[in-house]
Structure 1
């Protein structure tokens, strides 16, 4: 079976793993609901860490960066059901239900959903579709299930209205603070611009004013400087951290390090 299995294109997914899997960079572009069927799901951002196990649910707001760890427990495979709540779908639900967000959402970007009979019953009703992924669910039936879970969430936690239906663009956030916390994520500059509430041109302009250099140059310099610190001050080997600092491979890191500092990383250990 392919991981993850796409039950409804772009909307409903099911995944399982028999061994620990770690996704170093996850860019969650759309609001996402995750049900933990078995195993442990851990999400770590620059400011938060969430962990959940069997039967728990997590609602993750759009436009987030994180590291995901998926761990089987007690001899069972890791299994999750993921529902991607894209903006156009949420707009449709809001229009049909005449729902309006009362104000711009400023609360936590990730919310653990408390256990509830209605939601657990909903996910039990979805399990036949994910267990028999070869029998493709029609989009019409699938979208009814997605609308159902959104309405259940609103029934159980009415305060989620602003979380789900705030379609405003993100405010410009503090560029320096954000980049210093998230420089290690290996994502395109365009995604950094989006996450800070700027167009690409505006991001590059503000970045130059803030750091005195281009984003690509600064990211490379910052990652290599941090690498040198870990090697010289923490006695760490590059193989232990190169992925954590956003380098695609150990050879890429070693080449960049030697070009910047004139010596191979191993000569600094």
Structure 2
């Protein structure tokens, strides 16, 4: 099912609205994220752990760890949610300005937990309710207000659970995710090469260097080739229509898909689908 999605992004604060019944999201977040559900249902799955958010509930998700999020239409209506992302630059500035000389928190033992369902505290409710008017007003909050809300979010998290301290303020180099494993799992998503680099824990330059060691193709051509191979195998084994297939394997444009498919295989996907063989 195609997504009917509206997303407003105010410098790292995302207000999302899905009017269809179901959608899944990219299974890795590149920044620490605080999620609040206004309506609908939000499910977060990591390995064997599943967290289901109902309206008024929130969760914190650690960056650079694999998970899948499902945003669903619920009994109370369409999905509406607010996500606050805490980027590395902001966290470093916050730490240097407010926490650098506070040594009392450095002894906290880091936790390996990646997803936290949070208690519905008055602080959290107040933070997100102050952002909900921007759904409908069309008025963009000022940069100063955004900074204040980000800072408020950090203070609330630290007040809620001090285990967030070593998570938020860990400025070591990120763990690198295996590139091919990530791409084979996520090639259908509309991701830029810069986003893929970030999701796999690399700078763009490092990603390109590492990728050149595992493939003679540039990353974008590798993705197109992977999508075409997936389309070919699907056409061989199912009765799916070409008009439905191209988006499922990651193409945004039907004409581009048809042209690329014929260039690679020598026949169009429609003729292959009709004949059920390699005859074009």
Aligned pair count reads: 265
- Shift in Å, 1:229: 0.8
Residue matched to 1:86? 87
Asked if structure 2 preserves the Cα contact closer than 8 Å seen for 1:41 and 1:52, the reply is yes
Please give the TM-score of this superposition, normalised by the length of structure 1: 0.76
Greater Cα shift, 62-71 or 164-173: 62-71
Aligned partners of 1:5 and 1:13 also within 8 Å: yes
CA distance in 2, matches of 1:198, 1:170: 8
Q: Distance in 2 between matches of 1:175 and 1:241?
A: 25
1:32 aligns with 2:15: no
Q: What residue number does 2:55 align with?
A: 54
Contact 1:24 1:243 in 2 (8 A): no
Q: 222, 226, 232: which is aligned to 2:230?
A: 226
**Uncovered stretches (5+) of structure 2, i.e. residues with no partner:** 274-280
The aligned counterpart of 1:126 is 130
Q: CA deviation at 1:219?
A: 1.9
State the SS of the aligned residue for 2:80.
strand
- How far apart are residue 171 of structure 1 and its match? 3.2
Partner Cα distance (1:68, 1:254) in 2: 31
CA RMSD of aligned residues (A): 3.8
1:20 touches 1:69 (CA, 8 Å); kept in 2? no
- Deviation of 1:33 after TM superposition, in Å, equals 1.4
Structure 1 residue 230: deviation in Å? 0.9
- Aligned-residue offset at 1:198: 3.6
Task: Report which stretch shifted further, 181-190 or 118-127.
Answer: 118-127
Gaps of 5+ in 1: none
Matches within 5 A, 1:138-149: 139-149=143-153
Q: Is the 8 A contact 1:40 1:53 kept in 2?
A: yes
CA distance in 2, matches of 1:84, 1:251: 36
Q: In the alignment, is residue 97 of structure 1 matched against residue 116 of structure 2?
A: no
